[in-house]
Structure 1
Amino acid sequence: MSDPVTALVLLGVLFALLASGVWIAVALGLVAFVAITLFSGAPAGLILATTLWGHSHSWALAALPLFILMGEILLRSRLSEDMFSGLAPWLVKAPGRLLHVNVLGCAIFAAVSGSSAATAATIGRMSVPELTKRGYPEGLILGTLAGSATLGLLIPPSIILIVYGVATEQSIARLFVAGILPGLMLVLLFAGYVAVRAWSDPGLIPTETLRASFREKIRASRNLIPVALLIGGVIGSIYTGIASPTDAAALGVVLATVLAWASGTFSWGAFFEALMSATRTSCMIAAILLGAAYLSVAMGFTGLPRNLAEWIGTFGLSPYALLAVLTLFFILLGCFLDGISVVVLTTSIIMPMVTAVGIDPLWFGIYLVIVVEMSQITPPVGFNLFVIQGLTGIDILRIAKAAFPFFLLLLLGVILITVFPQIVTVLPDAMG
C-alpha cells in the first residue's frame, strides 16, 4: 500500500473514532495500534507498554500541572477586579478608552496563567458587565475579550508551548522567551485596532466620567503590584537562568497562593476546587500526550512521516508555500479540535517536513501557537467562544462575528513573524 493511501486510511480511522465520541487519547492510541498492526511487523502491545512507561516520567512535563494550578488559583482570587481598578484610570483618555482593559488585562493575566480559557473567564467575569453598564458596543467588548484571551496560549508561561516543547524535544525555556516579543506584537495589533475603530467613528465609544489625578492613578496602580511580582518571579527566574520552567512553575504556585490568601477572597474550599480542576485538566492533557507519544512511535515504525516528507519534497515547495498550506490545514483542523490536540496530533508527521525545508523548529513552535490561537475563536469548537458564551449567554455566532477582526489580526501576526523571523528568534539567541 502506498504511503499517501496509508495516511488516508489512518486519517479516516482517526476521524471516524473522533466523530463517534471516543476520547482523543483513546483515539490516538487505537490509530497507533492499527498502524503498527497493519503496516509494520512490530509487536504493538510491547511497544505500547514501553512507550507509556518511557513517556510517563518527564521533568519538563512536571511544569504543566503546576502552571495549570497557578492559573486555577488566580481564577478564584480577586485578581481581575484589582487589574480593572489598577488599569482603568490610565486608559480613560486613550482612543477606545476602557476597551483597552480587555486587551491589557488579558495580556497581564496571560503572563501568569498559560491558558486562553482561564484568561477569558477571569477577565471577562469583571470587564463584560462593567463595560456593558458603561455603554460600550457589544461587538467590541466581545471581540477584544475573545481575541485578547488567545494571548494566554502565547505569552509565557504557556501550557501549549510546554506541550510542543515536550513533543518536539525543544527547550521550554527558549520557547517561553521566544513567545515574549510576538505576544507584545499581538497586544499592539489588538490595541491599534481598537484605537483605529475609535478614531474612525468618534460616537462609537462612550464618554467616560472617570477622572483621576496623577497621584490617584499611582495609588490605583498599587493593585497591579502583586501581579507584577508574580510575573517577575516566574518569567524573570526563567529568563535569568536562576530556575528551570518546572522550578519557576512551583514558585508561581506558591506566590499565587500567597497573593490569593492576601486578597481576602480565597478559602480552603476555593483552593480545593482549584486543585481538583487542575488535576482534571492535567490528567486530560497527560492522557492525550501519552496517546500522541504512542502514535509518534507507531509512525516511526511505519516510516510514514519520513516517506510523506520525501513525497512532499518532490513537489519542490518553498518554505513560504509549505507554511501557507500548513496554515490552512491547521485552521481547518482547529475548527474541530482544541489547540493541544492539534499540536500533539500533527507534530510527529509535520516536523520532518518542516525541518526538511530548513524551518527552525523553535520559530515553528511560535508560528504553530499563533495559528492555534486563531482556532480558539473559530466555530464550531472555539474554546474562547464557549467560555464567553457561558459568561454572557450570547449566541456563539454573534461572538464569533465580533471576534473575526481579531482572527484577521492573528493572521497578520503570522505574516509578520514569517517576513521578520527575528521577532521570534532575537531574544532566545540573546539568551544563548
Structure 2
Amino acid sequence: METLGIGLLLLVLMLVLLAGGLWIAMTLALCGWVGQFFFTATEPGKNLFSAFWDSNASWELAALPLFIWMGEILFRTKLSEEMFEGLRPWLNRIPGRLMHTTVLGCGIFGSVSGSSAATCATISKVALPELRRRGYDENLALGALATSGTLGILIPPSITMVVYAVAADASVIRIFLAGFLPGLLLMALFMGYIGWWSTRHPDRMPPADPPTSLGQKLRASGNLIPCTALIVFIVWVLVAGYATATECAAYGAVGSLAIAAWGRSLTVRNFVDGLVGATRTSCMIMFILGGAAFLTKTMAFTGVPIALAGWVDGMQLSPYALIAALVLVYLVLGTALDGISMIVLTTAVVLPMIQKAGFDLVWFGIFVVLLVEIAEVTPPVGFNLFVLQNMTGKDSNIIAKAAIPFFFCLIVCIGLITVFPSIVTVLPNLVMGPER
C-alpha cells in the first residue's frame, strides 16, 4: 500500500501543478523528478536526459511531423474546403451533417497513421476551422475530435497493437485483424451520438442546405477526388508492402504538396506557414512525449503499476469482476501514463491473470487498446486533450468535458466486446482459422 501511496502523491502533485498553469510537459517531468529523487535510489538527471532522448529519437516517430505537415498543407490550401464541399450534399439529410466528417476523417486517416496524436492533430487542423466557419457547435466538434482521434491506435496498423503483441507473445496479424470490427463499431457509436445530439439540439446546428439532385451530388463529389486519391494511394503503398508507416507519411506530405500545386492553391506564403505550423505542433507533442516518458520511468522504478495489478490479483475475483477491476486499474493508470507504457508495465502481471480466467489473448489485446483510447482523453494526462488544447487555446478541462459523451461511447464499446467477444475474434478466425 506504501507504493500505491507514492502514486497517489504524484497524482495530487500533478493536479496542483496543472491547476497552477505550469506547462504540461514541465509538469510531467517535474512529477517524474520528484518521484525519483525522493522515492528511489536512481539519479533523476541521467534518467531525464535518457527519457527525452529515447522518446524522441525514434524512426517511427518521424511519421508524426510529416503527417502533421500534410494536415497543415490541406488546411492552408483549398483542399480541405473542397473535401467538405464534396461531402456536404451527401451528408445534408443525415442528422449531424458535416459533423460526421470528424469521425469519418479520423477513421480513414487512423488506418494510415497508426498514431492517436497524428490523427487528432491532422484531422483537427483540417476539420475544426471548416466546422467553425459553417456554424457547427464547437464543443461537440472538440469532443468528437478528441475521442475520434484515438481511432488511430484501434484501426490497424497500430504501434500500440504491435507493442501488445510483442509483450503478450501473440500474433500481430491476428490482433491487426481483430481491430477492424471494433473500430467500425466505435465509429458507428460516435456517429450515432452525433446524430442523436443533433436531433435534440436543432437550434445549435446550422440550417440545412437546399435539397440537391443526384447529378448535383455527383458533380460535387468531383471535389473529393484529390484527397481521396491521396488517401487511397497512401493506404495502397502501406498494404501492398511498398512502404512503412513512416514512409507513407513522407508520401502523404509530398502528395499533398503535388495536389495543392496542381490545383494552383500552393503559394510560397502558405508553404512556409505550413512548415512553421507543423514544426510548432510537432515540437509541442514531442516535448510532452519526453515528459511523459520520464514520468513513466518514475512509475517503473517505484513499482506503482505492478503494485496496482498485484493488488487486483490478490482479490481473487470472478472472470467478469476481474475485467471490471482491470477497467478501473487502467483508467487510474491512464491519468498518469501514456498507453504504450501502461501495456509494457502491466502485461507481465496481468496476462497470467487473464489466461487463468479463460480469456483469449487476442480479445484482451483489443480490450486493452480500447482502455488506452480512454486514457488518451482522461485528465490530467489525456494526450489528445493536450494536442487540442495547444491547437485551439481551449483549456484541457473544457475539452475533456466536451468529450464525456464520447467517453461513454468507448465504455459501451468495451461492454459490447465483453458480452459479445466474437466481434473481436470472428475476423481473425475467418481469415486465419481458429487459433490452436
The two structures share one fold, judged by TM-score above 0.5 = yes
Partner of 1:265: 265
For 2:2, the equivalent position in structure 1 comes to: 2
User: Which of 369, 392, 399 pairs up with 1:366?
Assistant: 369
Alignment of 1:115 with 2:112, yes or no, is: no
Q: 1:90 to 1:50 in 2, by over 3 A?
A: closer
- Answer yes or no: is 1:415 the counterpart of 2:389: no
Q: Deviations over 1:110-147 (max 9, x none)?
A: 534843355345324334443x4xxxxx66x8536742
Whole-angstrom CA distance in 1 between matches of 2:421 and 2:249: 28
Partner of 1:325: 328
How far apart in 2 are the matches of 1:116 and 1:279? 16
**Mapped pair 1:310 → 2:324:** no
* Structure 2 CA distance for aligned equivalents of residues 302 and 405 of structure 1: 34
Distance 1:199 1:284, change over 3 A: closer
Q: Residue deviations 1:302-349, cap 9 Å, x none?
A: 444333322332123444212441475478x4xxx9xxx754785565
Distance 1:17 1:67 in 2: 31
**d(CA) in 2 for partners of 1:144, 1:299:** 34
Give the equivalent residue in structure 2 for 1:355: 351
Checking the alignment, whether the CA contact within 8 Å between 1:78 and 1:265 is kept in structure 2 is yes
Could you tell me whether the CA contact under 8 Å between 2:7 and 2:299 is conserved in 1? no
Instruction: Note the C-alpha offset of 1:367.
Output: 0.6
C-alpha separation between the residues in 2 aligned to 1:401 and 1:47? 34
Bigger mean CA offset, 321-330 vs 305-314: 321-330
SS of equivalent residue, structure 1 residue 316: coil
Question: What is the CA–CA distance in structure 2 between the aligned matches of 1:403 and 1:57, rounded to whole Å?
Answer: 32
SS in 2 for 1:266: coil
1:135 maps to none
Contact 1:103–1:144 (Cα < 8 Å) also in 2: no
Query: Per-residue displacement from partner, 1:82-137 (whole Å, max 9, x unpaired)?
Result: 12221222234x442xx33220354136534843355345324334443x4xxxxx
Q: Distance in 2 between matches of 1:58 and 1:266?
A: 31
Aligned to 2:295: 295
After TM superposition, the score normalised by the length of structure 1 is 0.73
The separation in 2 between residues aligned to 1:22 and 1:311, in whole angstroms, is: 33
Distance 1:83 1:52, change over 3 A: closer
- Paired residues in the alignment total 407
The one-character-per-residue Cα deviations of 1:334-377 (angstroms, maximum 9, x if unpaired) are xxx9xxx754785565555543533657424531354246559x
The code of the aligned residue for 2:98 comes to: V
Question: Following the alignment from structure 2 to structure 1, what is the Cα–Cα distance between the partners of residues 77 and 186?
Answer: 27
Indicate the residue corresponding to 2:255 in structure 1.
Answer: 255
Summarize deviations over 1:385-408 as a string: whole Å, max 9, x none.
8699879xxxx97x9888665444
1:143 and 1:345, CA in 2 relative to 1: closer, same or farther beyond 3 A? same
**Pair 1:219–1:342, CA change in 2 (3 A):** same
In structure 2, the CA distance between the partners of 1:307 and 1:149, relative to structure 1 (3 Å rule), is closer
- Aligned position for 1:283: 283
Quickly say closer, same or farther: Cα 1:168–1:80, change in 2 above 3 A. same
Distance 1:41 1:404 in 2: 40
Alignment of 1:99-114 (within 5 A): 99-104=96-101, 106-108=103-105, 111-112=108-109, 114=118
Q: Judge conservation of contact 1:234–1:248 (CA < 8 Å) in 2.
A: yes
Tell me by how many angstroms 1:221 deviates.
1.2
1:189-243 C-alpha deviation (Å, 9 max, x unpaired)? 3444455678899999998563433333222212112222222222333333332
- Shift of the 387–128 alpha-carbon distance from structure 1 to 2, 3 Å rule, reads farther
Which residue number in structure 1 is paired with residue 358 of structure 2? none
CA distance in 2, matches of 1:106, 1:172: 26
CA distance in 2 between counterparts of 1:12 and 1:208 reads 47
Is the 8 Å Cα contact of residues 178 and 424 (structure 1) preserved in structure 2? yes
8 Å CA contact retained: 2:72, 2:125: no
Report the Cα distance in structure 2 between the residues aligned to 1:243 and 1:219, rounded to whole angstroms.
Answer: 33
Asked whether the 8 Å contact 1:327–1:371 carries over to 2, the reply is no
Identity of aligned residues (%): 36
In the TM superposition, what whole-angstrom CA distance separates every residue of 1:35-76 from its partner, at most 9, and x where no partner exists? 444444344444445555555422222222222222222222
Q: Which whole-Å CA distance do the structure 1 matches of 2:254 and 2:346 have between them? A: 38
The answer for unaligned runs of 5 or more in structure 1 is 133-137
Cα contact 2:165–2:172 (8 A) shared by 1? no
Distance 1:105 1:86, change over 3 A: farther
1:126 counterpart = 2:126: no
- The structure-2 alpha-carbon separation of the partners of 1:194 and 1:280, relative to structure 1 and needing over 3 Å to count, comes to closer
> Does the 8 A contact of 2:70 with 2:122 survive in 1?
no
- Note the 1:44-63 alignment, pairs <5 A: 44-63=44-63
Out of 140, 144, 147, which is 1:147 matched to? 144
* Secondary structure of the corresponding residue to residue 357 of structure 1: helix
Aligned-residue offset at 1:269: 2.0
8 Å Cα contact 1:64-1:159 kept in structure 2: no
- Following TM superposition, by how much is the alpha carbon of 1:176 offset from its aligned partner in structure 2, in angstroms? 7.5
Q: Please give the alpha-carbon distance, in whole angstroms, between the structure 1 residues aligned to 2:8 and 2:340.
A: 18
* Root-mean-square deviation (Å): 4.6
